[in-house]
Structure 1
Amino acid sequence: MDTATRPGSASDGGTVELTILMPCLNEAETLGVCVRKAMDYLARSGVRGEVLVADNGSADGSQAIAEGLGARVLPVPERGYGAALIAGIRAARGRYVIMGDSDDSYDFTALDPFVAKLREGYELVMGNRFRGGIKPGAMPPLHRYLGNPVLSTVGRVFFHSPVRDFHCGLRGFNRDAMLALDLRLPGMEFASEMVVKATVKGLRITEVPTTLSPDGRSRPPHLRSWRDGWRHLRFLLAFCPRWLFLYPGAALFLLGAVGMALLLPGSLHLGRVTLDVHTLLYASGAMVMGFQAVQFWVFARIYGAQEGVVPEDPRLTAALRRFGLEPALIVAAVLVVLGLGLGVAAVAIWGAERFGPLTGMAAMRVTIASVTSMLLGLQLAFGAFFVALLGMMRAKGPEA
């Protein structure tokens, strides 16, 4: 077997076709088995490749074990699963990279399906443990029946990804294509970031069946179910803020608007239930909170796109260019003036009562509408200025 002796360029991969990449943090019990299996695969298949261990600061002699078996060891000082893999991808010498955990839960002698799909032109080849088989004791029931299915479903719904096992640790990819994604997350959520960004950027993605075995370690895994599960979900929500802000905010705003329209004229009777001014106040709150949530979606998309965290939304960008700062301020001014006018009307109703105790609910209804209108106007004005400061909203002028 001919291992890599010099790095290839990012464009042609040098003389190395495949890098088998293993992140490692104190895996002395199982790392040797994994490296031997990977070396055996390269020798048997004739694939020109290397085994690269991205070591995250092991203190149990893992580095010496890997080097003794012919693997290349890359020290990665920044802690984290994602940090180790990002550094490993950058240092890989192969045109293709197949990454897998170094706990002996994946079979590095069975990489032919990954290599075949990569050679066909697929840029990300995911293992699917649910199709390939999960051996008894290999995956906790919490992960098998709740965590993985829920997070994978969220990923497919949010991003229309074809991947049905988002968190399989055995996956292959074209190195250049992966570097172009600018992967950044240092923790376990790196697994989701890779799939999501590959989907959003339109990379060719496929899955191959993969068998998951119980890992060979005597210590607990680095994974923390609830903490890391939340980090995955948090990333999915942040990368697709329409599900976190836009859809809930729009629904809340519309619900509040309907409530305001129905209750401003007077109380509403639904069978034995009477909705009155108190419900009107909650409807007002729903409108304000919903509007603010939608604004947060706009802010998140703009700032996230500028920072390279989320993809730019062409429709939002086009809408902001058409609806610039000045039109937004005009609408905001109309809302504020309307609110002030309603406030004057409320004072007039109070004056009719000689500025004494109010006996009816008319003044309260008008007051709630007044405050709601002014709040929405001020929120719109401040939001428009903030978007302008972010550099995404263009004021319409004579030169436009």
Structure 2
Amino acid sequence: MVLTRRAILKSSAAVPLAAPFIGSAMAAAPIKVGSLVDLSGPLGTTGQPMLDALKIAVEAHNKAGGLLGRQIDLINYDTQSSIQLYSQYAQALALKDRVDVVLGGITSASREAIRPVFDRYKVLYFYNTFYEGGVCDRDIFCTGTTPAQTVQKLVSYATKTWGKKVYIIAADYNYGHITAKWMTKYTQDDGGTVMATEFFPLDVTNFNATISKIQSEKPDLILSALVGSNHTAFYRQWGAAGMSGKIPIASTTFGIVNEMATLQAKESNGIITAFGYYQELQTPASVAFVDAIHKQFGAGVPYIGEPAACTYEAFNLWAEAVKKSGTVTRMPVIKALDSGLSFDGPTGKVTIDPATQHCIRNVYLAKAVDKKWDVFKTFPNQTPSDTASVCNLIKHPNIDKQFVIDVKTKA
């Protein structure tokens, strides 16, 4: 095909007429939000409420006109409690779907599998589950609680209420090992003694030998950092051995995989936990949050705990930062988040700490009573002081690692 000069000029003259249409189409392109949570496997009952919370947050914004005049597309992958799938789907979100932000991960192992992927491809990432602390990375915001915010409160209450001789049981991966160190430190700080510490892989379901050891050692209390539905077997076997109520239990994790629904009331009654959120909180924001999830997904959804509430708040913090910066581009959004941005959510007022990119938030103590949580104490505005001891992104913005915090314990 031979084009004459006149034809070329006519073709060129048509470009300005098309340009406004093209620009309008580009402006209307949806904002893409990625989600990576387990909807099946041992952690499925934790992941489902996290996705539900994210869905209602996205839909509320879309009904109000979206963000920056653009609708929001939510792209979710079920990671099926598989670290391999976390890595695979993280690549898909970054390279195929080209999302603007990702919210996801449940275990610390899953976070550490996907965090390097999002660092490499410069994708902003929110991790919204309580964890052992120490992540220091310009591209990630951690909205869940850390040990200085929750474990310290839990251990202090337990040792002052029940006694100083402690037996620790925990999951055999980085969360369990590091949390056990914090449990030991806080027990010793309160003048207590750790009689023994045992770790269990996530697939372990038989705890009879450990229960026999605990019966023999006769501690004043048990501190538990067991994780996942397989470890729920401990509490069932503890009750079957006739130990429910005989030696009290305080846990950093109990309830996170809907144990209250699967266990009998007599198997869970009296267990104490500390989290950044319980669905039983009766503040207007909490009640509205729980009602919205139940209205859309039914009252039979798994328990709505800290990971779900923190996911909801993380999305809203990100949305506020997008509005403030006027873009979804990563660095302007990060700067807006680091300006001390706050959001009043179901857990209370949540504020980004710019030095750690973690949250300053309320913490609550609660007791299991007849398959519900009795929230009996509130600690307002708790800071992530553990992570702050190793992380200052204001002074060192190019760090992208998880520090293993040197937890000082006595030999």
Which structure dedicates a bigger proportion of its chain to helix? Answer: 1
Q: TM-score, normalised by structure 2?
A: 0.26
TM-score, structure 1 as length reference: 0.27
The structure with the larger Rg is 1
- The structure in which a higher percent of residues are strand is 2
